[in-house]
Structure 1
Amino acid sequence: MKLKLTLIALFSCAILCSQNFNEVQLPKPDKVSPFFIGPLFKSTIHYGATPPNYNGKIILFNHGYIDLNQSQFLFNNSFYQETYNEGYQAVFVATTRGGGIWVNGKLLAESIDIVTQKFNVDQVYLVGHSNGGKASEAAMFTYKKKDKVALAFALGTPFWGTYLADISQMPWLNWAWKLTGLNEGAQTSTTYYCRDVVRPYLDNHPDNEPEKFIVLGASGFYKGSTIAAPAFLLTGGFLFPIQGANDGVAPYKSTLRPGAEYVFRKNDPRAIIDHLDISFGQFSWSYIKSYIENRSLKSAIIPDNKFDNSKITSNYYIIYSENEYDQILLDKGSSYAVAEVIHENPTASFEVFDKNLKKLNIHKSSSYENHKIIIPISENNITLKSNSRFTAFIKQNSGILMSLEQLSMSRYPILKVDLYSDKKDSQLFLNTQVHGVILKTSEIDGTPVQSDPEMITFDENDHSFYFNTKNLEKGVYSLFLNSENKNNFRRSIISGFVVGDVENSLNEVEDESHIYKSEKAIWITPNSVKNQAFLSVLAYVLPDPFSIKIYDITGKEIKNFRIRTNQNSQYHISEKLKTLRSGVYFLNIQGFKSIKFIKE
């Protein structure tokens, strides 16, 4: 009876697991059509042809994004051909597009069960490219498949996250992430999510076996032979000065999983390749093969594997194309700045105007690339216009820096901001304001959420600025941080933080029957305000009169007024918004809720 129940359980599990995947048989490597279209929506297992010299070993590839899985056996990638020639059975697993580390890790764990049962083997060799490497560690340790994995190879995996994902969490900047072709799944790849959730949880997991990981991290986003995606161009100018050597998506230091074996050093001449190249067999297979055939092989590379992004420093501020009020301002005492611009339209045109709206010639040394332009600025109060959405990082060598650090790794971290200058000017930082916009972007388990922006202000104490997160509900928050000192300087940082008990949150199951869905609502009609604007307030108890504050996109308060309540809960506020310049704003009622609107 016991055996019968066991067989029924195993059979049921096999059916359940297989229901999550399409299973497709590939022809031999030389017969795969270059026009092959892989999965676009459904998680899929592609079985490679079994080689005639099959050695009994399975190579399981996982890209980490469902519609890029086919890059492992198409686009002149030699992995399939190389493994076939050497007698290895290749299997290519596509998990989800935007599910993140925990969802993809669970699916990868299920695929490991399916594959080991199908080929009657005890273990597989995992080869995970990019987020596929993060799914591998979740599958092995969170979902208990470590004993079924002989070795796990991580190719360009951002174990400590990437600033490109940080940028994506700003709703008005997520188009930049979409230029990479990845589009989704950034919530669990931010530097702060990996720092505060993924690494503490997995590196201290009782089942963690870091010695099973072999890391191949590349350093040459500018040297890739297969550059085809805008990501490698648009991130270069931004990532390089902030995170150092990188492959265009994953900084080298971010690829260092603590305790793993590292094949390449930073800027290793063998790895001056980009994020796509590192996934190709012609670049990586020889190293993978050597470790499979010689399990005791060691590279003798012991770098500092602590990717410390607890303190971030900025010498730039950010302007946004949708805001007519955004101007390029020079720091006090500065006569020169550089605008590093990421633009949505690859063939965008740009115009520069002075404070009198006189059109200026863009300096001939300005450099144009696909989705990126660098514009030197030598005048103050400059307006930048384009026929494309853009974001500009204004950098100046004035010696003024802003830093953001997290003082506590507790459930409610305290954020600290400091300002520095190499100039002896005692008046430089007087009357400085530090404020920001935060959005809860996901639960701690990475589940995306829709939330309203909140404006926060940092309190000054002994020349530093602090924000305590103790009054926030648990979750993962993005932060657009800004400091400003009128006529002296502006600085910006895009980052984030996590509030709540990480370990318990990852282990608990939410009972949705206890979730209360509020009927409260605030909205502006129309949302894009031109001549008329009506504010509607539903189910909020408001004092009479109640206060309204208007903030710009940086979180700076620019207008406040009071309105008398009425019975129909609709308020004509056209005159109050009339003086606003075109751009994106936030409206907050009585400290209850903030909503975004656009002023044409």
Structure 2
Amino acid sequence: MKLKLTLIALLSCAILFSQNFLEVQLPTPDKLNPFFVGPLFKSTIHYGATPANYNGKVIVFNHGYIDLNQSQFLFDNSFYQKTYNEGYQAVFVATTRGGGIWVNGELLAESIDIVTNKYNVADVYIIAHSNGGKAAEAAMIQYGKKDKIQQVFALGTPYWGTYLADISQMPWLNWAWRLTGLNEGARTSTTYYCRDVVRPYLDNNENNEPEKFVVLGASGYFNGSNLLARAAFTVTGGILLPIQGANDGVAPYRSTLRPGATYVFKKNDYRAFFDHIDVSFGQFSWPYVKSYIQNRSQKSNPSFENINPENYITTSNYYIIHSENEYDEIIFDKNSRFAVAEIIHENPKATFQGINKEQTDQLKINTQGNHRSVISLTSNNIKLQSNSRFAAFVKQNNGITMSLENQIRNKYPLLKVDISSTQKNNSLLTNIETRGVIIRTSNIDGTQVQSDPEVITFDKINDSFYFDTKNLEEGVYSLFLNSESTGNFKRSIISGFVVGDINKALTFNTEVNKPLDKNEKSIKLSPNSVKNYALLSLQGYSISDKISLAVYDITGKKMKSFEVKVTQNSEYNISEKLEQLSSGIYLLQVNHEKTIKFVKE
């Protein structure tokens, strides 16, 4: 089956208007032009034709962020044809691609009122792809439409989020997320946002009716029907596999397991070896959906993994290096003789060479498909060079593992890090520094915020390392966590956490914007990409004597610190202080108050 590239001819259709939706009437499936282009940038309700054998049941389709509404009735997708033949009234609702669960949930709730009124029915069935399944639960629970929804069929919905979204919240890695076309809606699709906000809020809501959800979670990121999609999902599925297990290239199987729902497939079920695109197509999913509509009493598959948010632990046996940082090297753990670098790269045909002080290393490269390679290294202190931006996950199988546990305590979680070893001799686990870089990316309701990175350190208590979030502003934070024992090992984790009262934050009360403070404090480094010149400017600060400055790499490791004397015009030429830095991404901390990200060319 070919995913058709569209988008030239127009099919004549009637367009109506509601408060937030365009309303479009489709012809019968056999007369629908395969090159139909409906509204692409406006929330839209596409009404399917009413079949002659209409059985009185209405099915509402809602898309995920990977596709447009049209993908559920075009591109060789048989949902429209099959539901029409079976006598169902099909309606295709386009919400937004980037609005997130709460915005799309409210829009879907509005569309349900429009649709039930139009067809004079008490309720509808919902077939939702990907994050459309989260919009469906928000519409049902948060926006009060549970009595108007008969059942929700969730096709590849990451109810517990996806690590791909976690990566997207790292500013220096979000290009990797864009490779998939999934760059929208990421803020409310991270594993930590779903774990700390969505699941506890919705699962404990009095309007929650989990028995109405039927989950189709796929496991075949490597086995899609479309060659282009398969190439992309081989990359993303390969990233997810060691971290989140079996997946369809976007949604890990265990993430699709909505608590209390009916699960159609087991993990790695041979019937579900298809990818995130295919699960949204009728020829793959309709036979199962139809059977559940016709036989509501079918039992859930008993073999599934359960996820308990209270003991959600992320583990790592790798560290991460980034192509833009000349200071990044592949350094073996003590006593290790080789390493494996799993690499994602922006250029699908990237080439690599390894450079150390003595020679150019001949790398053993195993290309896993477009945008992904695996490199085996037998030489230490290697700098990877490439014709592409890349991120390398460097693994060494010596039994040293870092784990991150989010210990939820009211509004302020406690982050706990443990370093463990399977080796009897734990002599490598000494003089460990655990640090992180955090960025506040959104409010708890998912609205984006602009904030600067901040370097944090973890305090060692007994044999564990802790960071208390009680002094942080309310919001959602991304975290790049790193532990290091110089000369012994390094480990990294990309994750995040949420600070604040989710029940209060999700009341969605609109507050009047505060007027701008004319005396607002500001710290700027110009230019942001530093080559031979760097000017630091401070406005609104009352500093009597000296300004303390510290430079960190993107893992939070301090590279240097220095002071400058206060001047009358509050501008400071710090070019000389930065000129010895290797090329890469750095963080400049000013007086322990504000941290600025900059690039050294």
State the TM-score bracket (shorter-chain normalisation).
over 0.9
CA distance in 1, matches of 2:91, 2:576: 64
Determine the structure 2 residue equivalent to 1:114: 114
Partner SS, residue 214 of structure 2: strand
Determine the structure 1 residue equivalent to 2:586: 585
Partner SS, residue 330 of structure 1: coil
Distance 1:500 1:299, change over 3 A: closer
Mapped contact 1:355–1:380 kept (Cα < 8 A): no
Partner SS, residue 512 of structure 1: coil
Determine the structure 2 residue equivalent to 1:359: 360
CA distance in 2, matches of 1:569, 1:35: 60
Superposition map of 1:261-340 within 5 A = 261-301=262-302, 303-306=304-307, 308=309, 310-340=312-342
Determine the structure 2 residue equivalent to 1:240: 241
Partner SS, residue 581 of structure 1: coil
CA offset at residue 306 of structure 1? 2.2
Partner SS, residue 201 of structure 1: helix
Mapped contact 2:339–2:395 kept (Cα < 8 A): yes
Which string of whole-angstrom CA distances, capped at 9 and with x for unpartnered residues, describes residues 25-61 of structure 1?
Answer: 1222122222223443211111111112111111100
CA offset at residue 213 of structure 1? 0.5
Over the residues paired in the alignment, what is the CA RMSD in angstroms?
A: 1.7
Determine the structure 2 residue equivalent to 1:574: 575
CA distance in 2, matches of 1:36, 1:450: 39
Which string of whole-angstrom CA distances, capped at 9 and with x for unpartnered residues, describes residues 275-320 of structure 1?
Answer: 1111111111011111111222224425343255721110000001
CA distance in 2, matches of 1:32, 1:536: 60
Partner SS, residue 398 of structure 1: coil
Which letter does structure 2 place at the counterpart of 1:237? Answer: G
CA distance in 1, matches of 2:39, 2:489: 49
CA offset at residue 510 of structure 1? 4.2
Mapped contact 1:160–1:307 kept (Cα < 8 A): no
Partner SS, residue 18 of structure 2: helix
Q: Structure 1-normalised TM-score?
A: 0.94
Mapped contact 2:552–2:586 kept (Cα < 8 A): yes
Partner SS, residue 597 of structure 1: strand
CA offset at residue 19 of structure 1? 2.2
Determine the structure 1 residue equivalent to 2:76: 76
CA distance in 1, matches of 2:228, 2:22: 28
Report sequence identity in percent.
Answer: 66
CA distance in 1, matches of 2:153, 2:522: 49
Superposition map of 1:458-469 within 5 A = 458-469=458-469
Determine the structure 1 residue equivalent to 2:4: none
Superposition map of 1:524-535 within 5 A = 524-535=525-536
The 10-residue stretch of structure 1 (32-41 or 474-483) with the greater mean CA deviation from structure 2: 32-41
Determine the structure 2 residue equivalent to 1:138: 138
The 10-residue stretch of structure 1 (52-61 or 221-230) with the greater mean CA deviation from structure 2: 221-230
Which letter does structure 2 place at the counterpart of 1:480? Answer: F
Which letter does structure 2 place at the counterpart of 1:349? Answer: T
Determine the structure 1 residue equivalent to 2:539: 538
Which letter does structure 1 place at the counterpart of 2:18? Answer: S
CA distance in 1, matches of 2:418, 2:272: 37
Superposition map of 1:386-425 within 5 A = 386-425=386-425
- State whether structure 2 residue 475 is matched by structure 1 residue 475: yes
CA distance in 1, matches of 2:500, 2:61: 34
Distance 1:284 1:589, change over 3 A: same
Mapped contact 1:352–1:382 kept (Cα < 8 A): yes
Partner SS, residue 61 of structure 1: strand
Determine the structure 1 residue equivalent to 2:13: none
| Unpaired runs of at least 5, structure 2 | 1-15
Which string of whole-angstrom CA distances, capped at 9 and with x for unpartnered residues, describes residues 43-96 of structure 1?
Answer: 111111111211111110001338522211122111111001111111111101
Aligned residues: 583
Which letter does structure 2 place at the counterpart of 1:537? Answer: L
Mapped contact 2:17–2:23 kept (Cα < 8 A): no
Which string of whole-angstrom CA distances, capped at 9 and with x for unpartnered residues, describes residues 211-248 of structure 1?
Answer: 01111111111122225335412222221111111111
Mapped contact 2:65–2:184 kept (Cα < 8 A): no
CA offset at residue 576 of structure 1? 0.5
Which letter does structure 2 place at the counterpart of 1:470? Answer: K
Distance 1:302 1:340, change over 3 A: closer
| Unpaired runs of at least 5, structure 1 | 1-15
Partner SS, residue 393 of structure 1: strand
Mapped contact 2:361–2:379 kept (Cα < 8 A): no
Mapped contact 1:64–1:104 kept (Cα < 8 A): no
CA offset at residue 351 of structure 1? 1.8
CA distance in 1, matches of 2:71, 2:508: 36
Mapped contact 1:39–1:67 kept (Cα < 8 A): no
Which letter does structure 2 place at the counterpart of 1:384? Answer: L
CA offset at residue 516 of structure 1? 5.6
